[in-house]
Structure formats: C-alpha cells, structure tokens
Structure 1
Amino acid sequence: MTLSSTVHTHPRKRAWLAPLVYLLSGGALLGLSTNLAKLAGEIQLTALSFLFWSILGAALILLVISALRRNLPPVNARTIEYYAVSALLGVAGANLIFFSAIPHVGAGFVALIITLPPLLTYVGALTLKMERFRVMRAAGVLSALAGAITLAANKLSAPDANHLWILLALIGPVLLAIGNIYRTLRWPEGVSGDALAPGMLIAAAITLLAVGLLPGFSLSVPTDRYLPTLLIALQAVVFAGQFLLLFLLQKSGGPVLLSLLGSVGAVVGVPVAVLLQGETAPEGLLLGILLIGAGITLLNIGKASQSTR
C-alpha cells in the first residue's frame, strides 16, 4: 500500500518540472527571436518578408518532424478553424506588429511588452472558470505584470519615445492573451501539440502570403548576399522550437503559465539587446527583472502545490 502510494505520488510531485523546462526554453527562444528581428531590419529585410519566410521554414521543419513521427496535423473543419484563428492571433498578427515596431521602439522594448499578457490571460481564465483563484498564483501574475509595467512606463516617459509605435506595439500582447485562452478552449480532442504546431504555422504562412500579395507589400528577399538567407534560416529554427514548446507548455501548464513566456523572453531579450546590439538599458531594468523573476517563481510554486494535492 505504501509502495503503491509512493509510486503514484512521485510523478505528481514532478508534474511542475516539465512545464518549467518548457517555459524557460521557450521564453529564451522568444527573447532571441526579437533580437533577430532587429538584425533583419538593419540589413533591409522588411518585417513582413522576414516573418513570412521564417514562419514558412519553421512550418516545414515541424512538418518533416511530424511526418517522421507519423503524427501529421489532422485536417478537418475543427482543426482548420483552430489553425486559422490560432495563427492569426498568436503568430501572424502579433508577430507582424512586434517585428514592424522593433525598428521604431527597439528590440528591448518589444521583448518587454510581450510580458504583458499574464494579467489579461489570468483574468480571462478566471472569468471563463478555466482556472481556480489561488492567492500564490495570483501574486505571481501580479508580480510579473508589475515588472513589465515598471519597464514599459519608463520607456513611455523617455524624451525620444515614439508614442504612436509604442501604442501600436501594445496591441500585440492583447492578441497573444486572447490566443492563449482560445487555444486552450478549442484544443481539438485527442490531438497532440506536436501535430497542432505545424498546422498553425502553415496557416500563419498562408495568412502572411495573402498580406504580401496586397498592393504596397512585398515578400522579396535580397539575393546579392548570403546574410538575409542565413538570418531567415536561423529564425526558422528558433520559431520551430519556440512554437513546439508553446504547445507543449499550453497542454501541460495551462494558459496562465503559458502567458509567462514573454516574461522569460524579456529576461533574455533585453540583456541581449543591450549588450550585443548597443541599445540603451531601460530605466528600472533591475527592478523589473526581479519582479518578473519573483512572479515566475510564485506561479511555479503554486503549480507545484496544486499538482501535489
């Protein structure tokens, strides 16, 4: 009796570990992604073309992996809806806003505002009864949000702040929060995350292709040098890992923990932007990172205590 209890309890006590690994790994890739987008702008790659070809490359990578595992994305009315809406909210729409804003507000700031969805996601999850209120998890969300607000407020108060692009960039986190909840609510029954990820990216590539065919837009890539193609290939690998981890985290950790990907992305992306790309360190950076780190810790403690009950 005791042995059986121990065997069954041990995996539950470790149930928080996989989501934490997915969170930290996916967030690190997200922080890297914003900095690659800034490099793309500096070599005259438009946000749309860079995003389209990178997403297409990531979709092909994940599609090959799915084929090798004999776990291809299912195609039916339900999954097509899921791919299309998820792609519009969490991939094509949000990332096109972020990548377009980076030349105007900096990679560091975009990495910071991607930390804003937790409160929106948490409130939505509570309202829809997807998450039960727990003091520790609520405190974690509020701490991460306070860190993000500290950094964003200092950016807005800067004398050279581009307020129009700052406000446009803030639309992105709203789309991400809605997407976090949608993907959980509409997750097709019996379908794994590694099958859904390539389907979503294919839908995102089709959406971006449609935008690229509109007058005034272009998907062209400079071919007189190898750097743009190399950068696109690198971003494709980053996207493939990032969105695969996103689905794994969504399934194991839920929409609220998923929304903290941006917080981890900021902890990685902002220092990279400052140290390697020469951006000015945001005011309140240390306080913001401490608050975000505390939020992640509290949420995971809350997740661990929930798993052991």
Structure 2
Amino acid sequence: MSLETRDCTLSKAQTDAIERGLARIGAEESLVIVTNDLQTSVRDHFSHDARYASYSTSRGGGQVAAKTVTHSSGPAIFIDHELFNLATIDANERLLAHEGGHVVAARKGEEFVSRHHMVGSQEEYDLLASVGIAIEEFRIERELADMGYEEGPMGHIDSMGWMLHTTSVDLLTALLDPEAGADPAVLREKVTSVLADFVKVLGYAAGAVVAKLAGQFPVDRLDKHGVDNWDDYVGDHWAALVNILSDIPGIGTPMTDVEIEGALARSLDWYVQWMGRVGFTLNVGVDGVSFLRSSTDDLWTARLQRAAAENALREVQEDVS
C-alpha cells in the first residue's frame, strides 16, 4: 500500500484499518490518499484529464466519504479525512475493502463501463454506464457480505429512505427547471443523472440482500413516506432486479467478457423498463434519439404533494432533535 495524507494525520489504528481492508479484498498495492478536501484532491491529482475538472463530492443530499478512480495512469483511492475520523475503526476497514473492490475490478479488466460497442448512441451508453456502475457496486457488496462484513451505509434503511426522498425532489426540480422544459437534451441529462445515483444505491443495497438469500429489501422498516416512495419508484422492479443480479458473482469470482456483457444487456433492459415506471422514455429510431416524459401530470402532482409533506415532517424531526 502507498499511503499519502494531505493536510491531515492518521492514527495507527486508522492506518492498520486501511491496510486490513485492502488486504481482505486483495487490493494491497493500492494508492490511498487521505485528504481534508476530497473534491480538490481528485481534481488536482487528475488535472491532466478534463473529465475530472468539475468533479463534485455532492451526492443525493449527502457527501462522498471516498472516491476510487481507476484511471489509465493508475488507480487511486481518495478518502475524506473528516468523515473517516467520524467513523469507527471497523467502518474504516469496511470502507477500504469496498473501495479496494473497485481497484480489483479494474485490475482484472472486469469493469462494467467503457463498453461503447454494445449500444449505438451516446444517450444509450449513458444508461449502460449507469447500470454498469450499479452492477460493480453490487458485486463488491455481495463479496463483502460473503466475507462477513455488516451492511454498508448506503444499504442502511435510513439511507434508502433519504435517497428515495431526494430522488423524488431532484426529479421534480428537473421537471420544473425552465431550461429543461425548453430543451429535451437538458431534461435528459438532469433526469438520467438523478436516476444513475439512485440505481447505484439499489445495486449497492442488493449486494447484501442477495448474499443473505433474503430476496426482499426490508421495506416495512421504512416510514410511511418511504414505503409510498418505494412502492411508487421501485415496487416489483426490485424483484426483477434481484433476479438478474443473483446470477452475477461477487468481485472475487472471475467473469468473462461474454458473462459481463450478457449481464449488462439484461440489466440495461431492466433499466429502460424501470425508467418507464419512473415516468420517462428514451426512444431510439432512424430519426435519432428522443427523451420524453411519459407520465401524467396527476402522477407528478401526487409526488410533489408527498415530497412536500415528507419535507415538512423531516424539518419538524430536525427541530425536535
């Protein structure tokens, strides 16, 4: 392991946790950068690559605790020092095991992204990349569950409730954006960005569920708004997703290109159908690609009312706490 700290220090227990996590997943030779400014560190480290010039750590109303970049110049794991300090040593170890899983996938050539040849347009590839990222999260989380780690923070019931709420709010915000209303390409970019973040969380959460042979996410542990959001945005598409992912092994088990692309194709079909459930359709034809809202005003009005009620409740709960 090559460890760098930027404007921060680590305890021996934290350093040992980093080493253990990487060793357990098989990514001992990783470069790890612990920093007080994760966003700037990622941008600076890959300043030669314009894709990272606008990298942001904001995600679904929260902040990124770690970011692994599997770049052609070499993979690097970035850790937010402030959030790392707030976590337990066991959680620190688990975090590095998860991030090391991305390094393992890249080292084995089993990343599910960068497979442009599978589709005919950039718009389709954006969807393919979204499900590819979700599958990689699933493979890592399935492996960690098989190794005996507790569920990760993104798979926790409170995180799912919050993600369902922020997804609904962000979709509503996109639809009400005048720029998106005037330009379908802007609408597509905003909506698919929100959906990509949410499907990544679904893949993450499915890892432990599949490993434990549970099948179902514990929806009954969500509050009423969470259950309503789940039924609206996910519903029976969860069982269909789990059925696809159950055939995909953890990150420690090799997969061939044929297996990877088969899993991607099935997952992309699921994603397009699920996107229709949420209320959007991507049409690909001889005249090009179109992205349309395929849901009714009544549905979005109900979603707006539910989001407003949940927001008011959360504000009350914050005041009480």
Asked if Structure 1 and Structure 2 have the same fold, meaning a TM-score greater than 0.5 normalized by the shorter chain, the answer is no
| Larger RCO of the pair (alpha carbons < 8 Å, separation 6+) | 1
**Structure 1 length normalisation: TM-score?**
0.24
Q: TM-score, normalised by structure 2?
A: 0.23
- Structure with higher helix content: 1
Higher strand share: 2
